[in-house]
Amino acid sequence: MISEQGEQLGIIPTEQALDRARQVGLDLVEVASAEKPPVCRIMDYGKFKYQQKKRQHKGHTHQSKNKEIRLRPKIGEADFMTKVNRAKKFLAQKDKVVFSVIFRGRENAHVDEGFKLIEKLTAELEPVSKPEQRPTMHGRRIVAIFAPK
């Protein structure tokens, strides 16, 4: 058993532990039921549940998400820079960025253009990111993943 101040009181019968918790005006909470004997603590159970819920929400404040940016092999320079700047914003927010170079029709014959585009992209994003997954071909698209530094 653990007291309300956090000091260990040793092994105490259940009735005695309940009496002590009632004297202090708190609850007797079983903390570790798998242990032999089970560990109990004197605490305010409502406050404990509130703290637990608060801690759970705190962990969900920012989960790293994957943002996808799609490119075509014949993208113009200005459009390319717009996509790069968008990716830099996502990386600044600690999100991963998935780049997809999509090929249609006869563009499939020039897959090397897509890999050149990804190389150019890697050079542009090198100061703010690190490649998490090297460019790989998935069907009719090249996929590369970048993570923030």
pLDDT, tens digit, 9 for 90 and up, residues 27-78: 888 888 888 888 899 988 898 889 888 887 776 555 667 899 999 999 999 9
Residue bearing tokens 């009719």: 140
pLDDT of residue 9: 84
User: Average model confidence (pLDDT) for the chain?
Assistant: 88
* CATH number for the domain running over 66-148: 3.30.110.10
Under the banding of pLDDT at 50, 70 and 90, the label for residue 98 is: very high
Mean pLDDT, range 126-147, rounded to an integer: 92
Q: What is the pLDDT of residues 105-123, one digit of tens each?
A: 999 898 999 999 999 999 9
pLDDT at residue 4 is higher than 90:
no
Domain parsing of the chain, residue ranges: 14-59, 66-148
pLDDT of residue 88: 94
> What CATH class is the domain 14-59?
alpha beta
